[in-house]
Each structure stands twice: as structure tokens, then as C-alpha cells.
Amino acid sequence: MKMVYICSPLRGDHKKNIAKANEYAREEAMKGNCAIAPHCVFTQFLDDEVPDERWLGQEMGKALLCRCDELLVCGSIISEGMREEIKTAYENGIAVLGRDLSIADIEDAVFGETEQCCEMV
């Protein structure tokens, strides 16, 4: 069973964004993959609004990502947190796939000259 890390926004409308991440994870699970959406789990015991707890959640997510086979970028916006996850995947040789964006668009947003990303969804 392939482990697929779900990379999607959290900031903004937390409730809506977590519900979307759960939908993405369910889609992957129904394909026979082990879907990992850490921001759906870590927010149960860490407060994303507290900077130290947000940092800890992001670090835990990256540690978990390093044990996955793929990172699936979901949605049409790449947040700052997602950008860090994508960079971590590339640095560790983990396959990056786009659900809603092309790999070219993802790479341009993360590594391009403009490095455009949105924090809010």
C-alpha cells in the first residue's frame, strides 16, 4: 500500500480546509492508498494559531512526509506551509503529484522567480 501525503491549505477557513483535506484523503484511501493528512490530525491537539504549536505541527508533518511514497498537492492554491512541504518532498526524493495543478504550476509557485503563493484560501 502506497503512503500518500495530502498537501492542502489549512490557514484561512480551518473548518472548510480540514473538511476538504479529509475529502482528498478519502479519495486516496478509496484508490487503495494509505492517505496521510497530518493537518487533520495534528490540529486535534495543537493550536495552529499559537506560533510555537504551528511550528511543531509543521515539523511533525515534515517528519511524517519523509516516510511517505508521494506528496499529493491538492487544491488550486499553494500556501506558505504547503510550499515548505513541497520543498521537503523534493529535497528527500519523494514524488510530487498535482491533483488540481500541473507539476509545472506547482514548481513555478514553489521554485519560480515570483514564488507566488497565497496564505489564505
74-85 pLDDT, tens digit per residue, is: 999 999 999 999
Provide the edge-to-edge strand list for the sheet that holds 95-98: 34-36, 3-7, 70-73, 95-98
9-51 pLDDT, tens digit per residue, is: 998 898 999 999 999 999 999 999 999 999 999 999 999 999 9
Amino acid identity of residue 76, one-letter, is: S
This prediction's pTM: 0.90
Distances (CA, A) of 110 to 26, 84, 89, 114: 26, 8, 12, 9
